[in-house]
Amino acid sequence: MENGTCIGIFDSGYGGLTILEGIRQHMPEYDYIYLGDNARAPYGTRSFDVVYEFTLQAVKKLFEMGCPLVILGCNTASAKALRSIQQKYLPQYAPDRRVLGVIRPTAEVVGELSHTKHIGVLATEGTIKSQSYNLEIEKLHPGSTIVGQACPMWVPLVENNEFDKPGADYFVKDSLDKLMAQDPLIDTIILGCTHYPLLLNKIHQYLPQGVQVIPQGQYIATSLEDYLRRHPEMDERLTRGGTCQYLTTESATKFRESASLFLHEEVDVQHITLN
């Protein structure tokens, strides 16, 4: 594939594949490059500075490969690095490129989906501590009550292919119980981490009746489509060959094996280094 005009999608690891899948189902005609920083994942417990540094390295790599538009398909990177990249890096070094995240599009839809306006967020420790969802939702839907619960075991369960095994039940129930104990009026829960959709079967099993859960992929896709409609100058730069190239900082063989859990198909992968 000729590099130059793909949409870049970045994640700390495999989780962003759930975002890529949502986007590709909705907009299969575009060309994509997926970059997973698997060798340095998880990002969830890393500091702001480190997440910013790693995310910027990945964004620069995708720019180098010619992507004019990069989606941070990772909540932790969106929470800790997006604002600085948009406000400090892009204006000076890449004024014709754009970087978008996954938190705002999710926050936009949740207000329409919740009736009680009591919203729960399940995410990594980093995303919860950043308060990014609280800030965005309060800005967009004033009067909402938002509570968050970090689920430190959920990413390792997915990464280690334990997400559909009996051992996962304890951790799924435990985190859901802790979230609902904070606010029993919650009627809508955001899955604010890209790995969590793989735990959906178990989440539904332990979810209290009448509570709905929002995976992000489909909403990021419709938000991206809307962005491209409002920015035809960007849309015109993107090629439409229906291809997807995969890059990882881990071994290509390891990525290929684990990616099949998320994508249910074999993928062609290339190893890269970030610095």
Tell me if 197 contacts ligand DGL by CB under 6 A: no
3-class DSSP state of 71: strand
Q: Which is nearer to ligand DGL, 146 or 193 (CB)?
A: 193
Of the residues 22, 36, 42, 148, which one makes contact with ligand DGL according to CB under 6 A: 42
Runs of H (alpha helix) within 27-88: 48-64, 75-80, 82-84
Active site residue 74: yes
Tell me if 127 contacts ligand DGL by CB under 6 A: yes
Q: Which is nearer to ligand DGL, 188 or 216 (CB)?
A: 216
Dihedral over Cα of 138, 143, 144, 146: its sign: positive
What's the rounded Cα separation, in Å, for the pair 178 and 182? 7
Q: Which of 6, 67, 151, 193 is catalytic?
A: 193
Active site residue 67: no
Instruction: Tell me, by CB under 6 A, how many residues bind ligand DGL.
Output: 17
Q: Give the residues across from 190 on adjacent strands.
A: 121, 214
Of the residues 44, 105, 120, 148, which one makes contact with ligand DGL according to CB under 6 A: 44
Dihedral over Cα of 173, 176, 181, 182: its sign: positive
Q: Give the residues across from 156 on adjacent strands.
A: none
Q: Give the residues across from 103 on adjacent strands.
A: none
What's the rounded Cα separation, in Å, for the pair 82 and 155? 21
> What is the closest distance, in whole angstroms, from the C-beta atom of residue 25 to ligand DGL in the complex?
19
From residue 154, give the alpha-carbon distance in Å to each of 67, 168, 217: 31, 8, 18
Of the residues 24, 61, 117, 195, which one makes contact with ligand DGL according to CB under 6 A: 195
Tell me if 155 contacts ligand DGL by CB under 6 A: yes
Of the residues 188, 194, 248, 249, which one makes contact with ligand DGL according to CB under 6 A: 194
* Catalytic residue ranges: 74, 193
Footprint of ligand DGL on this chain (CB under 6 A)? 11-13, 15, 41-44, 74-76, 124, 127, 155, 193-195
